[in-house]
Amino acid sequence: MSVIEKIVPLVIVLIVAVSCKNRERAPMSNVEVASSGYYSEPFRPQFHFSPEEKWMNDPNGMVFHKGIYHLFYQYHPDDIKWGPMHWGHATSTDLIHWRHRPIALYPDNLGYIFSGSAVLDVNNSSGLGTVENPPLVAIFTYHDMAGQRAGKENYETQGIAYSLDNGESWTKYAGNPVIENRGMKDFRDPKVFWHTGSNSWILTLVAGDHAQFYRSKNLKEWTKVGEFGHDRGAHGGVWECPDLFPMQVEGVDEEKFVLFISINPGAPNGGSGTQYFVGDFDGNTFSTNQKEPQWIDWGTDNYAGVTYSNAPNDERIFIGWMSNWAYAQDTPTEKWRSAMTLPRKLTLHKKFGRYELASYPVEGLERIVERAEKKSIRLREGAKETMAFENFNQAETRFVTTSRNFTLRFKNDLDEALVLNMDGTRKQFLLDRAVSGKTRFKEAFTARTQRMPLAHLPEGEVEVRVLMDRSSVEVFINGGLYVMTAQLFPNAAYNQLEVENNSQEVLEFKELEIAGIRGIWSR
Ligand code: FRU
C-alpha cells in the first residue's frame, strides 16, 4: 500500500443522507403498500411493464409504427397461471410509460395464440391493406391443445393476422395456417424481418433443437430455405423465441447478423435463458464461427426476449420476460404475475476478433430517474461502509471503479439482503438472493448463487449500474456488456447498502450515485 493511501483517512465516506424530502415514494412495507391505490400491491414493479392483472409471459409482436411502440405479450386473462394464450397489448411513445390496450388476439378453433412477431407491411405486399394504409401484420404460432392432448405431433402451426388501424383491432387471415407442420412437436415462435439482400421477408422459427428459415414475398406463402443449430450453441433444453437481425459493429464498417435463441431449460444459472450467435445470413441460412454459447443476460430472469421491428433510427431495442419457467408460476404475487425487463438498446462490439453484444437501458429512462449528487467513497483493505437510502427497491445505484474485489449488500430492517459480489480473483460476478426476502415458494428460486464470468472484462475502470424495482434487480456492467437480471421478493424495502472492500488495496468508488426512480403508473 502506498504512503498516500495510508495517510488518506481510513474511510472517506461522502455519501448518503440522500434527502428524500421532495419526493413522495410509497414505503414498501407490504402492509402499507397493499392499502394504497393503483399498481401499489406488494412487489408491484413501479417503472417496469406488468399487466394490470393476471398471467403474462413472453413479449410478442414488438413493432414501432406512427410514433407508437406496440408491446404484445403472452397473456392468460383468466388466471395468474399459464393457460389459454392470448396476445395482450400495450402501447408507449417513449418505451417507459405504457398504456394498456384491449386484448389483441384471442384463441380460435386453430388453437391458442403462442409467441410471434409483427411487421409493418409498408408496400402492402400481403394485399391485406392498401399502399396508402399499409397493414400491420402479426405472425404467430397456433398451438392446438386438443391436438396435443390427442397425441398428435403437428399441433403447432403458424398463422397471421392484420390490423388496418395501427394495432387497435386485428383480423385473422382466412387462409390460416400459413405454415403447416410436418410432424414436429416444438415448432413455433416465428420472427419476421424484411431482408434487403434477398428482397424478401424472412421468417425464423424454432423446431425443437434448431432454427428454420422461411422466405416469402407476401407474408402469406412461405418457402423453407435453411436450418441452423443442430450442432451449435447450448442444447440443454428446447429452443424457443428466435430473433434474427442485422447489426452494425460499433466503430467499424462491418455488418453482422445476430441470432437470438431462448432455451429452456439449459441456461447457465438454471432454467430459462437466452443465448445469441453472431454470424452471417445469406438469404437462406445463418452461419457462424462462434465456438462457445454466449448469453444476453446471465441472471435467471430474462427470457424469451426479442427486438422491435421498425424502430426509429435503426435502433435495436430489446425487451425480455423477467421470469424463468423453473418457478414462474409460483412467484408470490396475487393479482398479476411477472413483468418485462426494462427496454434495452443493443449494440454490437468487436474485441480481439470476438463479437460481444451489449444491452443497456434505453435513454428514455432518464426522464424518470431523479438524478442525485455524485460522491466518492474510499475504503481501506477489508473495510466496510454502510449507506442509508429510503428505498433501494425503486432506485438506481451506480458508480465507476477500478476495484475488482468488493461486495454490495442491499439490506432491509428484517435482515433480508441481496448480495452482489465482484470477484476479480476468480473473474466472476455473483448474485445471491438466498436471503433476499420471500424465497421458499419454489426450491429452484434459490437453488444456486448466480454466476456471471468476467473472463473478457478489460483492465481499468468499470461502470456498475444496479436498477431495482420492487421485485427485480438489473445489473449492468460496462455499458451492458455484462448483464444480470433477477427477481426478488423482499418483505420490506432495502434501506441500507453495505459496501465491503475484499481486496488488499484501497477501494474507491467514483461518481457514486443513488437515485430514486419515479413510478410510471397512474390511472
Ligand atoms: C416461451 C414459450 C414460447 C411459446 C410461449 C407459450 O416462454 O414457451 O415458446 O410460444 O412461451 O406461452
pLDDT (tens place) for every residue of the chain, 523 residues total: 333 333 333 333 333 333 333 333 334 443 334 445 899 999 999 999 999 999 999 999 999 999 999 999 999 999 999 999 999 999 999 999 999 999 999 999 999 999 999 999 999 999 999 999 999 999 999 999 999 999 999 999 999 999 999 999 999 999 999 999 999 999 999 999 999 999 999 999 999 999 999 999 999 999 999 999 999 999 999 999 999 999 999 999 999 999 999 999 999 999 999 999 999 999 999 999 999 999 999 999 999 999 999 999 999 999 999 999 999 999 999 999 999 999 999 999 999 889 999 999 999 999 999 999 999 999 999 999 999 999 999 999 999 999 999 999 999 999 999 999 999 999 999 999 999 999 999 999 999 999 999 988 999 999 999 999 999 999 999 999 999 999 999 999 999 999 999 999 999 999 999 999 999 999 8
Q: In whole angstroms, what is the distance from residue 453 CA to residue 433 CA? A: 18
Query: How many residues does the structure list for the chain?
Result: 523
Q: In whole angstroms, what is the distance from residue 245 CA to residue 194 CA? A: 9
Mutate to test the pocket of ligand 1, among 241, 306, 324, 327 (most ligand atoms within 8 A of CB): 241
Are the CB atoms for 202 and 218 separated by under 8 Å? no
Q: In whole angstroms, what is the distance from residue 429 CA to residue 421 CA? A: 6
Mutate to test the pocket of ligand 1, among 57, 263, 306, 319 (most ligand atoms within 8 A of CB): 57
Q: In whole angstroms, what is the distance from residue 106 CA to residue 113 CA? A: 7
Are the CB atoms for 355 and 256 separated by under 8 Å? yes
The closest residue, in CA terms, to atom 9 on ligand 1 is 240
Which listed residue (58, 121, 297, 432) is catalytic? 58
Beta bridge partners of 172: 161
Q: In whole angstroms, what is the distance from residue 392 CA to residue 497 CA? A: 8
Reference 434, options 358, 489, 473; nearest CA is 489
**Nearest ligand 1 atom, CA 321:** 7
Reference 272, options 282, 280, 264; nearest CA is 264
Take residue 455 and report the three cell numbers written for it: 473472463
Find all residues with CB under 8 Å of 34, minimum gap 6, and list them. Answer: 40, 41, 42
Take residue 194 and report the three cell numbers written for it: 424484411
**Nearest ligand 1 atom, CA 82:** 12
State how far Cα 426 lies from the chain centre: 27
Beta bridge partners of 513: 398
Q: In whole angstroms, what is the distance from residue 503 CA to residue 512 CA? A: 19
Q: What is the DSSP letter of 342?
A: P
Find all residues with CB under 8 Å of 84, minimum gap 6, and list them. Answer: 76, 78, 107, 112, 145
Find all residues with CB under 8 Å of 31, minimum gap 6, and list them. Answer: none
* pLDDT computed for residue 36 by the predictor: 58
Are the CB atoms for 172 and 148 separated by under 8 Å? no
Interval between CA 237 and ligand 1 midpoint (Å): 13
What does DSSP say about strands 428-432 and 417-423: parallel, antiparallel, or unpaired? Answer: antiparallel
**Nearest ligand 1 atom, CA 206:** 9
Are the CB atoms for 272 and 297 separated by under 8 Å? no
**φ and ψ at residue 329, rounded to 5 degrees:** -85, 0
310 sits in the region (left: phi over 0; alpha: psi -120 to 50; else beta) called: left
Interval between CA 58 and ligand 1 midpoint (Å): 7
Helix (H, G, I), strand (E, B) or coil at 370: strand
Reference 141, options 216, 192, 202; nearest CA is 192
List Cα–Cα distances, 453 to 62, 90, 484, in angstroms: 31, 35, 11
- DSSP secondary structure letters along 413-473: TTS-EEEEEEETTTTEEEEE-TTSS--TT-GGGGSS-EEEE-TTPPSS-EEEEEEEESSEE
Mutate to test the pocket of ligand 1, among 54, 60, 82, 114 (most ligand atoms within 8 A of CB): 114
State the Rg of the chain over Cα.
23
Q: Measuring from each residue's beta carbon to the nearest atom of ligand 1, which residues come in under 6 Å?
A: 57-58, 74, 85, 114-115, 141, 188-189, 240-241, 304
**Nearest ligand 1 atom, CA 240:** 9
Interval between CA 70 and ligand 1 midpoint (Å): 19
Take residue 155 and report the three cell numbers written for it: 399441433
List Cα–Cα distances, 187 to 89, 155, 242, in angstroms: 24, 9, 11
Interval between CA 73 and ligand 1 midpoint (Å): 10
Q: In whole angstroms, what is the distance from residue 343 CA to residue 361 CA? A: 6
Interval between CA 115 and ligand 1 midpoint (Å): 6
Take residue 286 and report the three cell numbers written for it: 445463418
Type of residue numbered 99:
R
Interval between CA 65 and ligand 1 midpoint (Å): 25
Q: In whole angstroms, what is the distance from residue 464 CA to residue 462 CA? A: 6
Q: What is the DSSP letter of 230?
A: T
Interval between CA 342 and ligand 1 midpoint (Å): 20
Q: In whole angstroms, what is the distance from residue 349 CA to residue 355 CA? A: 6
Q: Is 58 a known active-site residue?
A: yes
Type of residue numbered 506:
V
Mutate to test the pocket of ligand 1, among 145, 157, 186, 188 (most ligand atoms within 8 A of CB): 188
Q: What is the DSSP letter of 182?
A: S
State how far Cα 70 lies from the chain centre: 16
The closest residue, in CA terms, to atom 8 on ligand 1 is 240
Please report the beta strands in 249-379, taking only residues with DSSP state E, as ranges in sequence order: 255-264, 273-281, 286-287, 294-295, 303-307, 317-321, 336-337, 344-351, 354-361, 369-370, 375-379
